Amino acid sequence: MTSKKKDLLSIAVYIFICFTLMFVFGPLIYTAEEGADFGAYQILYLLAAFSPCIACLVTRLLFREGFKGQLYPKFSGNFKAYFLAVVIPLVFGILNCVLITISTGAGFSFKLEGGIFTALGNNMVMSVYAYYAMIIIIGEELGWRGFLYDKLEKSFGLNGAVVIGGIIWGLWHIPPIVHAGLNFGKDYPGFPYAGIVLMCVMCIGFGAFLQLIRKMSGSVIAPIIAHGLIDSVSNSLATMFLSEEMILDMAGGKKFIVGICITVTAVIVGIPCWVVLNKRPPHPSPAATASPQGVKATTAEPSP
Amino acid sequence: MSGFILKDLYIMRKRIILNIVFLLTTMILLDILAGLLKNMVPKEDINVISAGLAIMVSIGTFMGLYSLECDILFTDERRKWNAYSAASEAGVRAVVGAKYTLCFIISFLGYLICRFNDIVLSLILDRTVQLSMFYLGLVFSVTLLMAVQLSFGLRFGAKYGTNLRLALFIGIFVLGSIYAMFGDVDWLMGEGGVRDNMRYLLEHLDDAGVKNYIAKLSGGAAAVLSLIPHAIVGMYWLSYRSSCRAYTKGAENYDK
């Protein structure tokens, strides 16, 4: 079997395992009532959330690719990548805040009881929650950035990897979009198809940013940090100027507007990252250079 | 660096296996106990029992793993090794970095063991048991202790470092006791003080309870409280940097 065929087969196996786990276990947890309390909830949730990681591990074992260089932090000499992994999610959160505040007509003043201190306190609390989010995000990043994007890049080129990877990543979110109204709620025209399309666009934007810092650092730790911050601090920054009633309203009927704002911001942040990603000299990532049994290839393969 | 980590793991393999076997056995016994208690106690008390068992397992786990982390200092305390590793291509940073990374990996392993116990307890009791925020607190506590232990151990030798740490803790305890006897303890024991807050936290240790507790705090208090984990991460980094500088000097205090 040629190298390209093998890569395509490994991508297919990865997607099959990943989507099977998510589409089997996802609906079970997302259709459960809020605050559901049953014994198997946690294990089902972890199986769904860690499905990219499980798929990556199984595929690597099946194709004897080894795991070298996946979770090794590589801090030395990569300060820029880790700096961006922290700063860009904050920029994303602030941009989101501006868009949401303008689109809801809230006005730029702190409306929470306690004013600026409460808003600051909320953001600080979410920065601690980021540590917890990062642990869950390991399950996603090890699969998406640590496996899929590298494989796609080898088969479809850099731009192909960002677009196709983003679409696959977006489609993986279908169960929470359909059953739990993830990011866009359930009350919008074209539910759930519009939400799925917007999610794919959002994932293309985020995918470009996360793949950029993955390549800059040569490790999936940087995307894990960035993704964890996006899921925690960015969300709390986005609602900084809103009153509690408005935040509750955002969780309900107006969620679609918030979802669109997040998508637009993801594209705004993603495009420059994509441009930079294209300008970067080709730097083989560990997964791209790993030959069978995890031994690094010594010679580059000729392009077809 | 991974080579140095593997070396430490290899030297400590027997202790690691023994520790993990002991922890898993204790965990299984406590989970069996949970299964027995499930049918014996009223339904409203199950919450307290599940949290109590999870706390027992987590504290036991982190105490066991903390002692394991302390042993990392003793694995290669020889002057010749110190000089050899410092002169190697990897350098002092890799040698010291390996110790700090391994300590973090062991703490993270503790978190995973506790979360695994949560899943087993949830399945046995048929209700969600999730104390991940509490476990994260334990991870940060151990990280703080190791930041002190490693920097002292690498600068003054493991034995001297351990004694110094002990003296530091005894000193803090004695000073604290003196303050508790003669100082103003209203902020600690008074109404709405630290004691009340601790009691509330102990009764609501699940993730939702911790979030509600933080939400109840004023903005300033929440911000200050939230700074602690970041400060610990910063301290761990500073401890690593200072240890890198002190590593070769520390060899002067080794016995062999």
Q: What is the pLDDT of residues A67-79, one digit of tens each?
A: 766 677 777 788 8
Q: What is the torsion angle, in degrees rounded to the nearest 10, for the CA atoms of residue A27, residue A33, residue A38 and residue A43?
A: 30
A69 to chain B: closest CA residue: B2
Q: For A77-91, A97-111, B85-99, B201-215, which range has the lowest pLDDT when averaged over its residues?
A: B201-215
Complete DSSP assignment for B165-180:
HHHHHHHHHHHHHHHH
**Predicted local confidence at residue A65, as pLDDT:** 85
Contact call for A122 and B127, based on CB within 8 A: no
Indicate whether A135 pLDDT > 80: yes
> Which is higher by pLDDT, B142 or B221?
B142
Q: For A7-16, A161-170, A254-263, B39-48, which range has the lowest pLDDT when averaged over its residues?
A: B39-48
Closest chain B C-alpha to A135 CA, distance in angstroms: 10
**Predicted local confidence at residue B179, as pLDDT:** 87
**Predicted local confidence at residue A35, as pLDDT:** 57
Rg of chain B over all Cα atoms, to the nearest angstrom: 21
Indicate whether B18 pLDDT > 80: yes
Indicate whether A295 pLDDT > 50: no
Long-range CB pairs of A64-68 (<8 Å, 24+ gap) are: A64/A292, A64/A293, A65/A10, A65/A287, A65/A290, A65/A292, A65/A294, A66/A290, A66/A292, A66/A293, A66/A294, A66/A295, A67/A294, A68/A286, A68/A290, A68/A294, A68/A296
Q: For A9-18, A243-252, B28-37, B225-234, which range has the lowest pLDDT when averaged over its residues?
A: A243-252
Report the run of H or E that residue A237 belongs to, with start and end.
helix A235-238
Contact call for A122 and B219, based on CB within 8 A: yes
Indicate whether B205 pLDDT > 90: no
Contact call for B222 and A121, based on CB within 8 A: yes
Closest chain A C-alpha to B180 CA, distance in angstroms: 30
Nearest CB among A39, A122, A128 relative to B229 is that of A128
Q: Helices marked H in chain B — which ranges?
A: 2-11, 13-38, 46-71, 79-87, 91-125, 132-156, 158-182, 186-189, 194-203, 207-216, 219-250
What's the average model confidence in pLDDT over B75-99? 81
Per-residue confidence band for A248, with pLDDT thresholds at 50, 70 and 90:
confident
Q: For A81-85, A117-121, A160-164, A191-195, which range has the lowest pLDDT when averaged over its residues?
A: A117-121
Contact call for B214 and A125, based on CB within 8 A: yes
Closest chain B C-alpha to A37 CA, distance in angstroms: 5
| Residues of B with Cβ-Cβ distance to A132 under 8 angstroms | 132-133, 136
Average of per-residue pLDDT values in chain A = 85
What's the average model confidence in pLDDT over A198-214? 95
**Predicted local confidence at residue A37, as pLDDT:** 64
Contact call for B127 and A38, based on CB within 8 A: yes
What's the average model confidence in pLDDT over A149-174? 94
Per-residue confidence band for B165, with pLDDT thresholds at 50, 70 and 90:
confident
The single-letter code of the amino acid at B15 is R
Contact call for B122 and A119, based on CB within 8 A: no
Q: How far apart are CA A164 and CA A158, in angstroms?
A: 10
Nearest CB among B127, B218, B227 relative to A124 is that of B227
Taking phi over 0 as left and psi of -120 to 50 as alpha, with beta for the rest, A115 belongs to: left
Contact call for B119 and A43, based on CB within 8 A: yes
Closest chain B C-alpha to A34 CA, distance in angstroms: 13
> Which is higher by pLDDT, B186 or B94?
B94
Contact call for B226 and A124, based on CB within 8 A: yes
Contact call for A39 and B220, based on CB within 8 A: no
Q: How far apart are CA A54 and CA A140, in angstroms?
A: 9
What's the average model confidence in pLDDT over B132-149? 90
Per-residue confidence band for A293, with pLDDT thresholds at 50, 70 and 90:
very low
Closest CA to A170 of A152, A197, A140: A197
**Predicted local confidence at residue B5, as pLDDT:** 87
**Whether A24 contacts A51, CB under 8 Å:** no
What's the average model confidence in pLDDT over B77-90? 78
**% chain B with pLDDT above 70:** 91
What predicted TM-score, i.e. pTM, was given to this entire model?
0.86
Question: What count of CB pairs under 8 Å joins A to B?
Answer: 71
Q: How far apart are CA A233 and CA A239, in angstroms?
A: 10
How far, CA to CA in Å, does B167 sit from each of B80, B152, B175? 29, 12, 12
What's the average model confidence in pLDDT over A221-231? 94
What's the average model confidence in pLDDT over A119-134? 86
* Chain position carrying tokens 């911050």: A229
Q: How far apart are CA B169 and CA A66, in angstroms?
A: 45
**Predicted local confidence at residue A60, as pLDDT:** 92
B213 to chain A: closest CA residue: A125
Q: How far apart are CA B95 and CA B27, in angstroms?
A: 34
Find out whether the peptide bond into A192 is cis, omega within 30 degrees of 0. yes
Contact call for A121 and B124, based on CB within 8 A: no
How far, CA to CA in Å, does A166 sit from each of A200, A214, A260? 6, 15, 17
Q: How far apart are CA A69 and CA A72, in angstroms?
A: 5
Indicate whether A290 pLDDT > 60: no
Indicate whether A19 pLDDT > 90: yes
Closest chain B C-alpha to A71 CA, distance in angstroms: 11
Per-residue confidence band for A251, with pLDDT thresholds at 50, 70 and 90:
low
Closest chain B C-alpha to A120 CA, distance in angstroms: 7
The pair of structure tokens assigned to A103 is 């689109």
Closest CA to A124 of A231, A225, A221, A237: A237
Q: Which residues of B touch A (CB under 8 A)?
A: 2, 93, 101, 111, 118-119, 122-128, 130, 132-133, 136, 214, 217-223, 226-227, 229-230
| Residues of B with Cβ-Cβ distance to A40 under 8 angstroms | 122-123
Contact call for B127 and A42, based on CB within 8 A: no
Best-predicted range by mean pLDDT (A161-175, A280-294, B140-154): A161-175
A75 to chain B: closest CA residue: B97
**% chain A with pLDDT above 70:** 88
Contact call for B219 and A39, based on CB within 8 A: no
Nearest CB among B127, B132, B217 relative to A37 is that of B127
| Exposed/middle/buried for residue A214 (C-beta within 10 Å: 0-12, 13-18, 19+) | buried
What's the average model confidence in pLDDT over B223-252? 87
**Predicted local confidence at residue B156, as pLDDT:** 81
Per-residue confidence band for A300, with pLDDT thresholds at 50, 70 and 90:
very low
Per-residue confidence band for A302, with pLDDT thresholds at 50, 70 and 90:
very low
Closest chain B C-alpha to A54 CA, distance in angstroms: 16
Contact call for A117 and B125, based on CB within 8 A: no
Indicate whether B213 pLDDT > 90: no
Query: What are the tens digits of pLDDT across the range B105-127?
Result: 999 999 999 999 988 988 888 88
Closest CA to A179 of A34, A16, A18, A15: A34
> Which is higher by pLDDT, A121 or A267?
A267
Q: How far apart are CA A259 and CA B132, in angstroms?
A: 29
